[in-house]
Amino acid sequence: MHGRRQSLDVLIYRALLRLLPRRLWKGYEEEMVDFYRQRRAEVGPGWWRRLGFMVTVLIDEARHGPLTWVDNENRPHAGRTRRLRRSRAGIHSVVQDSQFGIRMLRRRPLFAAITILTLGVGIGSATIMYSVVDWVLLRPLPYADPDRVVSVWQVFPGFKEIANLRESWDKGWLSHAQFESWREHQTSFSAVAIHDRSSRQLTGFGHAEVLEVGRASASLMDVLGVSLSKGRWFTLEEEYGDPETTGRPLAQPVVVVSHEFWKERLGGRQDVLGQTLTLDRRPHTIIGVLPPGFRLRILSWGGIDVGRRDVWIPAPKDGGYHWDGIGRLKPDVTAAQAKAELEALLLSDIDPSQRWFNVIARARAEKVDLETPLMLLLAGTGLLLLIACGNVSTLLLGEMQTRRHELAIRCALGASRSRLARHLLTESLILGALGSCVGTIFAMVGTPLLVRFGPAIPHMDQISVDLRVLAAGVALAIASAVVFGVPSAYVVTREGASIHLRARALGFSKKASRLSACVVGAEVALTTVILISSVLLGRSFSEMMAVKPGFVPESLAVIAVEPPPLNEEELDRYLSFLEQTSDRLSQIEGVSEVATSSGVPFLQTNSSYVVTPGDAQEDAPSISALSWYVSADFRRVMGIPLLAGRDLTPAEVSQGAPLTLVSESLARELWPDRSPLGKTLRYTESDVLTVVGVVGDIKHKALGYQTEAAFHLPVFDGNGWRLPSNFVVRTRAGAAARLDGLKEAVWDQDPDALIREATTMESLISRSAYPDRYRTLLTAIFATFATFLAAIGLFGVTARSVAQRNSDMAIRMALGARGSTLIRDVLRGGLRVALAGIATGLLLSLWAGYLIRDFLFDVAPGDPLTYLGVAGGLILTSILASYLPARRAASVDPIETLRSE
């Protein structure tokens, strides 16, 4: 056509032109399309710019299009004077049209309300979801030339076999030593860096508190190409900070603060550079402020890190093994070349099948763990929007049907067709505009709610209602109102007055009924999909909440204290502080027992070790297990059952005797079919522990997680001290009521103690299920809307078909048909549509269930009970939706009806 490829927007634009008076678009179509293309070329590349342009064009069309009809009626066939007078009258008539349209809609408040709400919900939810997806998945990373930035991960295929490391087997950390060697010898990158997260205690700002601290090498800003708002980043000397390396006396350590920390905690003071911040009791000099919204996520581990840090400090020399590697490729170097060089540098003497490196575009790496859930959610929203549009179309088609009579009479009384079409167009536009208002309000209110209560996903705190997205949603609403409302208006007016007054049975109405039946069938199918997904998630959630954690969470309080940084001398004093505090807590009224622990299930887990039987042969099993340092009565206070052997005595615990308790699953893995008692457990090269008891398994992270093996570890494990600074308190009743008293008791012992968390075990468990609850709630809301919309659609279609067949029914009744027969007939018609939809929906749900299988806990994606239940529920809903119109049909007075025809 016209010798060049027509892009979609041009086709849409051409279609829109058809709404203008024929003389105008016949004369100027090509010119207008050309002009459209030239204007579009001016806005530049990028789909978002195009979309923005498209929206302005739509607004232009909506604003001026109807007025061209006014101009058209004033075309010069009459005297000029009359023409001009009419032109003013014409402009007046636009106002009149709007007033008339609003009056017409007010006469049908139910229709108007449902259409507006439907559009509003569809637009609002689509806008919210799209804003999230846009922020999280679509925006380019805020770095200079982001395509050159890559993540460097170490791959350990062996980790696939270890339960707790399975998720991150191909996203392994770099060690500091590897980084040093890489930085020194590499040639593929213009800069390389590492970073990780840590925490520091901040003092000197009221109550002591914990800061999220990023640690990074001096080259980080070169890698990201980010400039600071104020001051500077660390230098290499500051990273090494060692007088022997730099030959300079060790200056005060330095810190770079985030923009948010500077604004909120430091009051945005201009003279912030050079000020001192006390972290872990050491003064640090502030040398820089990061730009607003700076985030750097750690990607090389299983969980989702949102990348917010309060402050940044230099990575320590010899800083261990757990670093996230990142680099900026030189312009001509590919990721594959960089990978090859990296492996040659760091893996020269290692079997390449045991370990290798991945060099992955950062943009890709950032999104990989978020894509599926967000896309599913977006798909859900898309379905909802489709259902909403479908509903609007059936509603409008139905309206045209019922108003044929009115339109025909107006036509017969001399209303010009263009005037009628204009009326209908105005009504559609009013509906679309009001729907957009509702949608806008929905999005404006919903987005902050989502941000407030939503899950911790990256950028969540930055998301706001995106005006471009909202504009697109509004354009979509108006377009769907126009697209579905106007064509039927044209058909109605083209057919003219005579036909409508003559007969009822018209080709148009049949076509329209069939069309709306199809649309409603599709709606029912989509609803089935959403409902089944929602019920699957809901059942999975309740299955999960029914899981026993392995201990007794009721009336258990948790006071987690963050130990300050300690040196050897201070350690004893701190341990005795913990002991005294424990005694003090147990004396509080209503407290029955207190235990201390280095970790708390559902709050803070301890590090894990790969353990083997102490007398290991070649093929001995090895398993990753969590290590706990707990007081002797911890098991009893928590209510964990003792399955074999005995507890440790307080003396054994305090002396660090090489004895241990193991969890049931650990015993089963290491010593299948044998008693573990008296066996030894190896957890480092040199350290072995003798098993004296076996305890029940408990959940450590979340009820839905697999039970992890665990063992008791003495207080000193060879690498460092694990401090039992968490208090687990068994109360006689109502743990929540005791929390304030418990906190006061801790502060009585040490006013500077940093209480990180004071809560009940039950709320910790509930918090751990938060993402699942959120997901379940969200889909339940979706499903409710969808069901509601589909029921309305079905009701509309049935009611309309009943209205059309009013006289048939009247004749049949007059001939002796019983009301129940008529009801059955109508129900059959409605059910046929619904059943077709449900059947299609069930098939689609198998696929949808497969997509969400990862979120399901103990429920099969094809769970037959769910499918049957949802199908049954929907059939009942359909019967209800068809029954109301059917009963009305059966209750008509045949004489009345036939007379009015």
Partner 1 sequence: VADLNNDEMGQFLPLHPLEFQILLSLMDGVAHAYRIVQEVEARQPSWSRILPTNLYRRIWRLVSLGLIQEVEGEPAADGRSRKYFEILPLGRRVASAEAERLRQLLAEAVSTGVVPDERLGGS
Nearer to partner 1, 29 or 134 (CB): 29
Q: In this complex, which beta carbon is closest to partner 1, that of residue 425 or of residue 529?
A: 425
Q: How far is the CB of 45 from partner 1 (least distance, A)?
A: 17
- Cα–Cα distance for residue pair 473/464, rounded to 1 Å: 15
Which one-letter amino acid corresponds to residue 481? Answer: A
Within 13 Å of residue 463, how many CA atoms lie on the same side as its CB? 31
**What DSSP string describes 475-543?**
HHHHHHHHHHHHHHHHHHHHHHHHHHHH-S--HHHHHHHHHHHHHHHHHHHHHHHHHHHHHHHHHHHHH
Least Å from the CB of residue 78 to partner 1:
12
Least CB distance from residue 18 to partner 1, whole Å? 12
Please tell me whether residue 661 binds partner 1 under the rule CB under 8 A. Answer: no
Residue carrying structure tokens 């068994």: 730
3 state DSSP class of 599: coil
Q: Which is nearer to partner 1, 16 or 758 (CB)?
A: 16
Give the list of residues 6+ apart from residue 225 with CB closer than 8 angstroms, or none: 143, 144, 145, 149, 328
Nearer to partner 1, 24 or 566 (CB): 24
d(CA 460, CA 457): 6
Q: Which of 84, 250, 449, 865 binds partner 1 (CB under 8 A)?
A: 84
- Cβ count within 10 A of residue 739: 18
> Minimum CB separation from partner 1 for residue 40, in Å?
10
Q: How far is the CB of 16 from partner 1 (least distance, A)?
A: 8
Q: DSSP assignment, residue 250? A: -
When the beta carbons of 60 and 615 are compared against partner 1, the nearer one is 60
The amino acid at residue 711 is: F
In angstroms, rounded to a whole number, what is the distance separating the alpha carbons of residues 829 and 466?
44
- Give the x-and-dash track for 550-589 against partner 1 (CB under 8 A): ----------------------------------------
Nearest distance, CB of residue 342 and partner 1, angstroms: 50
Q: Which is nearer to partner 1, 25 or 508 (CB)?
A: 25
Nearest to 477, CA basis, from 440, 452, 502: 440
97 counts as binding partner 1 under rule CB under 8 A: no
Structure tokens given for 414 = 């001399």
Tell me if 510 contacts partner 1 by CB under 8 A: no
Rounded to the nearest whole angstrom, what is the least distance from the CB of residue 21 to partner 1 in the complex? 9
Nearer to partner 1, 64 or 364 (CB): 64
The sign of the dihedral angle between the CA atoms of 772, 774, 780, 782 is negative
58 versus 472: smaller Cβ distance to partner 1:
58
Task: Kindly tell me which of 71 and 134 has the beta carbon lying closer to partner 1.
Answer: 71
CA dihedral 574, 579, 581, 583 (to 10 degrees): -170
For residue 464, the minimal CB distance to partner 1 (Å) is 25
User: Any contact of residue 418 with partner 1 (CB under 8 A)?
Assistant: no
- For residues 292 and 367, what is the distance between their CA atoms, to the nearest angstrom? 21
Instruction: Give the C-alpha distances (Å, rounded to integers) separating 764 from 33, 616, 733, 761.
Output: 61, 38, 17, 5
User: Under a CB-based contact definition with an 8 Å cutoff, are residues 189 and 329 in contact?
Assistant: yes
Tell me whether strands 311-314 and 209-216 are parallel, antiparallel or unpaired: parallel
Are 468 and 51 in contact by the 8 Å Cβ rule? The answer is yes
Looking at the Cβ atoms of 74 and 513, the one nearer to partner 1 is 74
Q: Return the closest-CA partner of residue 473 out of 127, 138, 134, 135.
A: 127
Q: Which stretch binds partner 1 (CB under 8 A): 24-32, 517-525, 767-775, 893-901?
A: 24-32
**Binding residues among 839-868 for partner 1 as defined by CB under 8 A:** none
CA distances from 769 to 473, 545, 701 (A): 33, 8, 10
Kindly state the number of chain residues that form the binding site for partner 1, as judged by CB under 8 A.
30
- Span near partner 1 by CB under 8 A; candidates 77-85, 533-541, 568-576, 871-879: 77-85
Q: How far is the CB of 499 from partner 1 (least distance, A)?
A: 32
Nearer of residues 30 and 570 to partner 1, judged by Cβ:
30
Q: Give the DSSP H/E element, type plus range, for residue 701.
A: none
DSSP type of residue 42: H
**Residue 129, CA atoms < 13 Å, CB-side half-sphere:** 22
Of 22, 34, 205, 732, which lies in the binding site for partner 1, with binding defined by CB under 8 A?
34
Candidates 44, 76, 678, 751: give the one binding partner 1 (CB under 8 A).
Answer: 76
Q: Does 475 bind partner 1 (CB under 8 A)?
A: no
Smallest gap from Cβ 67 to partner 1, in A, equals: 6
Nearest distance from residue 72's CB to partner 1, in Å?
A: 9
Could you tell me which residues are beta bridge partners of residue 198? Answer: 213
Task: For residue 829, give the 3-state DSSP assignment.
Answer: helix
Rounded distance between C-alpha atoms, residue 812 and residue 806, angstroms: 10
Quick one: which of 27, 293, 718, 872 contacts partner 1 (CB under 8 A)? 27
8 A C-beta contact, residue 713 and residue 599: no
> Which member of 20, 128, 561, 630 binds partner 1 (CB under 8 A)?
20
The single-letter code of the amino acid at 321 is Y
| Nearer Cβ to partner 1 (31/618) | 31
> Coil, strand or helix: which one is 280?
coil
- Report helix, strand or coil for 230: strand
Q: Under rule CB under 8 A, which residues in 36-75 are in contact with partner 1?
A: 36, 38-39, 56-57, 60-61, 63-65, 67-68, 71, 74-75
Within 10 A of 665 (CB to CB), how many other CB atoms are there? Answer: 18
Nearest distance in Å: CB 50, partner 1? 14
- Applying CB under 8 A, among 10, 12, 14, 32 the residue interacting with partner 1 is 32
3 belongs to the binding site for partner 1 (CB under 8 A): yes
Q: How far is the CB of 87 from partner 1 (least distance, A)?
A: 9
Determine the interface stretch with partner 1 among 28-36, 139-147, 441-449, 629-637 (rule: CB under 8 A). Answer: 28-36
26 contributes a contact to partner 1 by CB under 8 A? no
Residue 29 Cβ, how far from partner 1 at the closest point, in Å? Answer: 10
1 interacts with partner 1 by CB under 8 A? no
Which of the stretches 32-40, 102-110, 640-648, 727-735 binds partner 1 when contact is defined by CB under 8 A? 32-40
Look up residue 694 and give its DSSP letter: E
> Under the rule (CB under 8 A), what is the footprint of partner 1?
2-3, 20, 24, 27-28, 30-32, 34-36, 38-39, 56-57, 60-61, 63-65, 67-68, 71, 74-76, 80-81, 84
